[in-house]
A and B are shown apart, each in its own frame.
Chain A
Amino acid sequence: MNARRPNGSPRIGRPGRMALALVLWLALFAGSTLLYNLTFHRTSPVLVRWLQVAPSAVLLEWTLPGVAVTRLPTALRIPGLEVQLLRGCDGMEAWLMLMSALLVFPFPWRRRLLGVLWGSLLVFGLNLLRIASLFHVALRRPDWFEIAHGVLWQSAMVIAVAAFILAWFRPAPETPARTGDAA
């Protein structure tokens, strides 16, 4: 992150290579999103019920002491409120965005694999916070729910993914100036 190109951008790659990487990133993210949408009915028991509903219920029990939180296959319920977890509420879209970036950007393979691990933890951790906080918003300020759900948290997830990708680029060592003609 310290090394800079003359125009001030970080030394992530040559401009032409970066342009190709951005196009590939878009294509891979769009393709994987399509695949996710098509297979959601099969993956939702794992992605929603076990990876989101169950841990979010623990978070809610911790933040709502004395309130019985019921775990439904795709929803969380307390007396007087039920929040459904639909397609996209599982954080998979942000995860796919991050994974496709790790594939297309020029990372060493070891760093890519570590990125998969830490990035997955970041995205799913943030998503649990998102679900729990949205539950509290629905409980206390239901009129704020739409903006918190559709604008604030969606933007926060994308920005978090972007920050992770940038931070994952190690500072490139400064190349010592070469003397003599290249030709």
Chain B
Amino acid sequence: MNSKSIHPLILRSLAAALLAGLLLVAWPAAWLAPVGRLAGAVTQRLYPSIDNLFVRPNGFRLEIAGDIRLGMILADGSALPALPGTWSKHGGQTLVVALVALVAWAMLPGGRRHWRTLPVVLGAAALAAAFVLSIEIQQTALQVLGHEWLPRQVFADAPANHAAFTQLQRAFGTTRWIQSFHDAGGRLFYGLLAGWIVLALPAAPPRGKN
């Protein structure tokens, strides 16, 4: 480590943190809106029991609405109706993933060619932030289901219900573990990986050569 290499690194990091921080604070919806849409798609792929998911930014907050559908049968033989849910979450953690990704990317030295990798970094950061948000949505939905809604229903003693309960328990355990990893720095670690994903990209061939 020498001062020649560390000073530009620190300067680039500070400049990126300042610029990205200002942009994200001034226009949070520019990041939260696409990440919200992506989170909806990720959630429906990872946990299809949440249907009609809609994520909309409102300042620094995210308004989330969706239906939870479980293939369970009530004691009277009728199907368990869909549970509509609405949540409101602060989008700060989603914005910080973008901030860390941009600072990590800016730390890497490079000239104009480095700028060409920015869309890849933003895409990776959006995917990471969407995954984080999706896990939070799933965790909230499963908590509401398990602690508030399902205990109030009377279910039939049917194999389909037992299978659905087992699946719910498994999903709850998995999302709880992932959430604890995210809370333990994993969320920002994804941002760091998104910023450094450019290191894993093949080098662009010099211009004018095949």
Q: Chain A interface (Cβ within 8 Å of chain B)?
A: 1-2, 4-10, 12-13, 15-16, 18-19, 22, 25-26, 29-30, 33-34, 36-37, 88, 93-94, 97, 147, 150-151, 154-155, 157-159, 161-163, 166-168, 170-171
Contacts and interface: CB of A to CB of B under 8 A. Distances in A.
A154 B185 contact: yes
Chain B binding surface, main DSSP class: helix
Interface stretch (B40-48, B64-72, B142-150, B186-194): B186-194
Nearest to A118: B1
B100 A22 contact: no
Nearest to B1: A167
Interface of B: 1-2, 4-6, 9-10, 13, 17, 92-93, 96, 99-100, 103-104, 107-114, 116-117, 177, 180-181, 183-186, 188-189, 191-193, 195-206
Contacts of B204: 6-7
Contacts of B111: 8
A8 B192 contact: no
A77 B189 CA distance: 32
Given A6-B204, A93-B184, A155 B96 contact: yes
A154 B196 contact: no
A159 B109 contact: no
Chain A binding surface, main DSSP class: helix
Contacts of B185: 33, 88, 93-94, 97, 154, 157-158
A161 B113 CA distance: 25
B203 A22 contact: no
A1 B201 contact: no
